[in-house]
């Protein structure tokens, strides 16, 4: 049994350079063979701009609040170590930064939606990129080891900061698009290719589906507003849908178990 697992891991490690090479080439092709993509002039024009109780763009601001609740609770539980099933210090660091980024999304998103413009959008974009970077790094720590995962996280944090500066000063959103679309799609690819030592791995795929649904809601902002009879817009629904991702991941961390420990427990019961 142990020999078979070791053999499977060695096979996966052999394919790792090829996978990274293909991903790197895809990103480079996207950067060098596509024209500059400037910020859209309608980027900050959301369909629901109602002012309730003196709060501009009320629902877009209020739907950022769930990120704060989930982020703070998840951050505390990740550091506490007695509720979430986290078995290494590298996982503690990556998951704590993930939840800290989620809390940062609440502040950044609310600040931006109070007065959407090119100056405030920086504080909305950067926390989301931190979340994506730390989430992907948490998966890498889990599947490939804490050293490569933490190195990946450091590199992605630096890249996120540089990408935001590049977009701000060069008016080109291509690098930020990589963080918003390519990196999230890398999560199910890694989850599929590399075996986890934990149970409940299906949550990674469910969260990817939720993310794609949220992006669809954001793109159809105006249509969703009409479909809901002007109750809630697609962008506000996108906020609520994205807030489900850390909730699902928290459920995964709470219920998952080490597979080998589970086998030992079953053997002891028999």
Q: Which of 20-24, 31-35, 89-93 has the highest mean pLDDT?
A: 89-93
Confirm whether 64 is domain-assigned: yes
At 54 the pLDDT is: 87
| Residue 162, token pair as written in the block | 């540089």
CA distances from residue 135 to 69, 170, 190, 236 in whole angstroms, order as listed: 18, 28, 12, 23
**pLDDT score at 174:** 83
Q: Is the pLDDT of residue 270 over 60?
A: no
The number of CA neighbours under 13 Å toward the Cβ of 13 is 9
Condensed to tens digits (0 to 9), the pLDDT of residues 107-158 reads: 999 999 999 998 899 999 999 999 999 999 999 999 988 888 999 999 999 9
Structural domain contains residue 8: no
Confidence of residue 81 (pLDDT cuts 50, 70, 90): confident
User: Which is more confident, 38 or 261?
Assistant: 38
Whether residue 19 is contained in a domain is answered as no
Decide if 196 is inside a domain: yes
Query: CB under 8 Å to 172, separation ≥6 — which residues?
Result: 36, 37, 38, 166
Is position 23 within any domain? Answer: no
Residue 88, in any domain of the structure = yes
**Residue 56 DSSP one-character state:** T
In a domain, residue 41? The reply is no
Say which CATH number the domain at 218 has. 1.20.1070
Q: Determine the average pLDDT of the residues in 183-195.
A: 89
Q: What whole-number distance in Å separates Cα of residue 177 and Cα of residue 27?
A: 10
pLDDT of the residue at 27: 64
pLDDT of residue 6: 40
Residue 34 lies in a domain: no
| Sign of the torsion formed by the C-alpha atoms of 20, 24, 27 and 33 | negative
Residue 198's DSSP bridge partners are 258
Q: Which domain holds residue 218?
A: 47-269
- Is the predicted pLDDT of residue 34 greater than 80, yes or no? no
Over range 75-103, report the average pLDDT.
93
pTM for the full predicted model = 0.87
Q: Average pLDDT over the chain, rounded to whole?
A: 86
Whether the pLDDT of residue 21 is over 70: the answer is no
Q: What is the DSSP letter of 105?
A: H
User: How does residue 183 score in pLDDT terms, banded at 50, 70 and 90?
Assistant: confident
Provide the 3-class DSSP secondary structure of residue 203.
Answer: helix
SS (H, E, C) 143-201: HHCHHHHHHHHHHHHHHHHHHHHHHHHHCCCHHHHHHHHHHHHHHHHHHHHCCCCECCC
Count of structural domains within the chain: 1
What pLDDT, on the 0 to 100 scale, is given for residue 168? Answer: 86
pLDDT score for 222: 94
Beta strands in the chain (DSSP E): none
Cβ neighbours, 10 Å, residue 153: 24
State yes or no: pLDDT of 235 exceeds 90: yes
**Which range scores top for mean pLDDT: 43-47, 96-100, 143-147, 258-262?**
96-100
Buried b (16+ CB within 10 A) or exposed e, 169-197: eeebbbbbebbeeebbebbbebbeebebe
Q: What are phi and psi of 55, to 5 degrees?
A: -105, 115
- Token code pair at residue 142: 């889990």
């Amino acid at each position: 049994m142990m020999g078979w697992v070791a053999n499977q891991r060695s096979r996966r490690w052999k394919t790792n350079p090829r996978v990274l090479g293909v991903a790197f080439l895809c990103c480079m092709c996207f950067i060098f063979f596509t024209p500059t993509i400037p910020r859209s002039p309608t980027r900050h024009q959301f369909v629901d701009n109602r002012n309730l109780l003196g709060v501009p763009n009320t629902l877009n601001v209020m739907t950022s609040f769930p990120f704060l609740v989930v982020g703070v609770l998840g951050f505390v539980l990740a550091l506490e170590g007695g509720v979430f099933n986290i078995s290494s210090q590298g996982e503690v660091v990556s998951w704590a930064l993930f939840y800290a980024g989620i809390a940062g999304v609440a502040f950044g998103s609310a600040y931006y939606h109070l007065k959407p413009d090119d100056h405030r959008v920086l504080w909305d974009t950067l926390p989301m990129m931190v979340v994506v970077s730390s989430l992907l790094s948490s998966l890498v720590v889990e599947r490939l080891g804490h050293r490569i995962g933490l190195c990946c996280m450091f590199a992605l944090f630096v890249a996120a900061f540089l990408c935001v500066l590049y977009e701000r000063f060069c008016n080109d959103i291509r690098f930020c698009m990589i963080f918003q679309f390519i990196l999230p799609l890398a999560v199910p690819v890694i989850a599929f290719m590399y075996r986890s030592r934990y149970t409940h791995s299906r949550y990674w795929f469910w969260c990817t589906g939720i993310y794609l649904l949220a992006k669809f809601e954001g793109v159809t902002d105006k249509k969703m507003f009409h479909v809901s009879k002007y109750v809630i817009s697609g962008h506000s629904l996108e906020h609520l849908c994205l807030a489900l991702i850390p909730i699902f991941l928290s459920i995964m961390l709470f219920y998952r178990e080490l597979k080998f420990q589970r086998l030992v427990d079953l053997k002891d019961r028999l």
